[in-house]
Amino acid sequence: MAEFTLKIRRYSPESGEGPYWESFETELPGHRSVLEGILQVKDRQDGSLAIRCSCRAAICGSCGVKVNGKPMLACNTHLEWAQSNSKDGEITVEPMGNMPVLKDLIVDMDAVHWKKIQRITPWLLPDGEPPEREYVVPHESMVDVTQSMACIQCGACVSDCLSMEVDPLFIGPAALAKAYRFVGDPRDGQHEERLRDLAEDPHGIYDCTHCFFCIEACPKGVAPMSQIMRLRRLAGSDYEIDDRNNGHRHEQAFVDNIRKHGLLHEADLLPDSYGGKLHPRTVPELVDSLPVITRALLRRKVTPQNALLHPHKASEEVKRIFEKVEGRPERLEFNLYVSGTEDDPDAPGPEDEQGPHDSGAGADGQAQQAGSGPQKKRS
């Protein structure tokens, strides 16, 4: 048994007062969860403390909260881990971000999260009548979408999404991961329509800024950002959807820019995103961007010399990376469930191509084994 202090963000809409912090002492073994600490407080000290919870085992997705400022499930976050990661020994627990607080640790998921889920047409849209028996689909594709099926709709990724903070209309990590569940499902007959919809929406797939926070926040290894990137690759490269947001061209400009210079060359990036310096769309965009360019020059973020005469050229190593990645017959995608491991001689990629997917909440930073699975490239 050990003592832990839980400093909890309280709010009661009926009190007429604003939110405040209240500290409670709990006594539990350190490997028990923050949720168990909160439940002990509810049972013994203050039953009015409100938190959604049900399964206690990281399956139902009810108890998403922020512990020490980071979104996670209270039920699979160990008290001792939370204490050692706190600022001053007090474990802070507060409601998730990006959603309105209803009471104490309870947020309005309907107003944000579920609305966004509904936005992506979250049901299978098969072509024609179903077969007499099951749809015959590759084993790998079902395992592949299992990663996004593993989402428990806890909202942790939504809570920490930086893009959503700036653009509350952004469809967001959870809903886009859910979208991949349909786009990656061979039984769905509307892949292209779905991708076009998500690419053309100004708050769609190109609204993500690659901050990785959702991957870090996800307690189930869904890696929402990876699913968003897969939607982009499918939309831009495979279906060649040239979206009106310039998202795909902007992304392509980054790749070309690096291929050419090895380092980012800002002066080229913007014109290239619109089709090159001489493209008719580029001029008005450049004019629109003049204030930004001016500020960047004044703050010496860019110097005229660097901007116009980029001194870097891509090194041989950079070229080799491009050759290797582009030389593959199939595109490799990270996927938690399609897991090549050392026991498996047929694993699709060599060890150095596998990357860790952080398992997220309370897991002492233990990385889950992740592997790369084949993804059929469409032409």
Partner 1 sequence: MPAYDVLIIGAGLAGQRAALAAADAGATVGLMSKVHPVRSHSNAAAGGINAALNPEDSWESHAFDTVKGSDYLGDQDAIEIMCREAPDEILVLEHLGVTFHRDTEGRLGTRAFGGASAARTYYVADITGQALLHVLYEQMMKYHEKVDSYEEWFVTSLLTDDEGRCTGVIAREIRDGHLELFPAKSVILASGGAGQAFRPTTNALICTGDGIAQAYRIGAPLMDMEMIQYHPTTLAENGFLITEGARGEGAHLYNAEGERFMERYAPNKLELAGRDVVSRAEQVEINEGRGFEDGTIALDITKVPRKRILESLREIVNIGRDFAGVDITREPIHIRPGMHYMMGGVKTDVHGQTTVEGLYAAGEVACVSVHGGNRLGANSLLDTLIFGRRAGEHAARRAREVAMPEAAFSRLRDEERWIESIIAREHGGRRVSEIKLELGTTMNEKCAVFRDEEGLTEALEIIDRLREEAESAWIDDRGTVFNQDVLGAIELGFMVDCAHTILLGALERKESRGAQYRTDFPERNDDEWLKHIDISRNGAEPELSYSPVTITKWQPEERKY
β-pairing, 371-375 with 357-358? unpaired
For partner 1, the closer of residues 53 and 241 by Cβ is 53
Cβ contact 271:282 at 8 Å: yes
Shortest CB 148 distance to partner 1, Å: 9
**Which residues on adjacent β-strands are paired with residue 76?**
none
Amino acid letter for position 64: G
For partner 1, the closer of residues 157 and 241 by Cβ is 157
For partner 1, the closer of residues 243 and 333 by Cβ is 333
Polymer length in residues for the chain: 379
Shortest CB 139 distance to partner 1, Å: 4
Separation CA 299–CA 296 (nearest Å): 5
Separation CA 284–CA 241 (nearest Å): 23
Shortest CB 117 distance to partner 1, Å: 7
Shortest CB 346 distance to partner 1, Å: 9
Shortest CB 57 distance to partner 1, Å: 5
For partner 1, the closer of residues 86 and 141 by Cβ is 141
**Burial class of residue 88 (count of CB atoms within 10 Å of its CB; 0-12, 13-18, 19+):** exposed
CA distances (Å), origin 60, targets 16, 153, 180, 219: 32, 8, 21, 12
Shortest CB 144 distance to partner 1, Å: 9
Shortest CB 150 distance to partner 1, Å: 6
Separation CA 139–CA 327 (nearest Å): 26
For partner 1, the closer of residues 56 and 250 by Cβ is 56
CA-closest candidate to residue 226, choices 338, 120, 364, 137: 338
Alpha helices (H) along 19-138: 34-44, 79-84, 115-119
For partner 1, the closer of residues 46 and 165 by Cβ is 46
Residues in Cβ contact with 44 at an 8 Å cutoff, skipping those fewer than 6 apart: none
CA-closest candidate to residue 338, choices 358, 360, 361, 354: 354
For partner 1, the closer of residues 63 and 241 by Cβ is 63
